[in-house]
Amino acid sequence: MEHETTLLVESLLVADRLAAEVIVKGLTQEISPIRIIENVIVPALEHIGKGWEDGSVALSQVYMGGRICEKMVDGLLPPGAPDRKGQPCMALCVLKDHHLLGKQIVYSLLRAAGFELSDYGNISVEEVVERVKKDQIKVLLISVLMLPSALKIKEVRSKILDMGLDVQIVVGGAPFRFDSKLWRAVGADAMCTTASGVVPVIEQIMEVSHGQ
């Protein structure tokens, strides 16, 4: 399905929703929704993510591509569909940072990959820790633009440890791109340079937890 993936990438890069829908609709005659997602949509988003990483694709293209795919996947796998990936229990937030674009992109891309997750929005350290405990979150994704927000992750890690919770913290955003050591310094378990890079990180976390 490389050809379809290539065509989908081309349509997503110019935010041509109709062309993208035609490609995906054509595939639904032949293969199951989950295979379309795994074999065409996710590879297309990964391709765009790699382009973002090497500078050949712009953020607006990543955002529009993710948004178009999220809506198509909602059509293929409605929320609550049995093939939706409900595990691990995940939440996504920004920490007192009013720059929400990165969070939106990650949310769209994970949903486009068939995952379900909670969107906590813009939240304080105290609030996020409480909600993580209450919702029994296993993976907390934190998107960051401003440096002070990145530094707040250290407080989140500390409070999660104090409460004895087993939570993986996955971070991403501009400060981590400009300082490759920062994610470890703030106590994160993983850092993603692209939104599509979150998918393999989640899958790896699932493999480890299943192996235990």
Partner 1 sequence: MGNRHMTSLERVLITLGHQEPDRVPLFLLLTMHGAKELGVSIESYFSQGEHVAEGQLKLLEKYGHDCIYNFYHAPLEVEAWGAEVIYCEDGPPNSGIPVIQNIQDIQTLEAPRIEACTCLEKVLTSARLLKETLQDQVPIIGVVMSPFSLPVMQLGFNRYIELIYESPHLFQRLMDINTRFCVDWANAQLDAGSTAICYFDPVSSSTIIPRELYLKTGFKVATNTIAQIKGPTATHLASGRGVSIVDDLSKTGTAIMGSSSLEDLSEVKAACRKKLTVLGDLNGIGMCGWTPEQAEDEVKKAIAAAGPGGGFILSDNHGEIPYQVPDEVLLAISRAVRRWGQYPLDWVPSP
Q: Which of 65, 74, 124, 58 is nearest to 94 (CA)?
A: 124
Residue 65 touches partner 1, criterion: CB under 8 A: no
Check binding of 74 to partner 1 (CB under 8 A).
Answer: no
Q: Judge whether 37 and 76 are in contact, CB under 8 Å.
A: yes
Separation CA 73–CA 71 (nearest Å)? 5
Q: Which of 5, 104, 143, 168 binds partner 1 (CB under 8 A)?
A: 104
Beta partners for 118? 91
178 binds partner 1 (CB under 8 A): yes
Residue 171 near partner 1 by CB under 8 A: no
Task: Please say which residue, 86 or 148, places its beta carbon nearer to partner 1.
Answer: 148
Nearer to partner 1, 99 or 131 (CB): 99
Contact 154, 186 (CB under 8 A): yes
Q: Which is nearer to partner 1, 67 or 157 (CB)?
A: 67
Rule CB under 8 A: say whether 93 interacts with partner 1: no
Among 98, 134, 162, 212, binds partner 1 (CB under 8 A): 98
CB 143, CB 94: distance < 8 Å: yes
> Does 63 interact with partner 1 (rule: CB under 8 A)?
yes
Report which secondary-structure segment, H or E, holds 109: helix 101-112
Q: Is 45 helix (H, G, I), strand (E, B) or coil?
A: helix
Question: Residue 95 or residue 139: which is nearer to partner 1 going by CB?
Answer: 95
d(CA 125, CA 1): 44
Chain residues that interact with partner 1, rule: CB under 8 A: 13, 15, 55, 57-61, 63-64, 67, 96-101, 104, 146-148, 151, 174-175, 177-179, 181-182
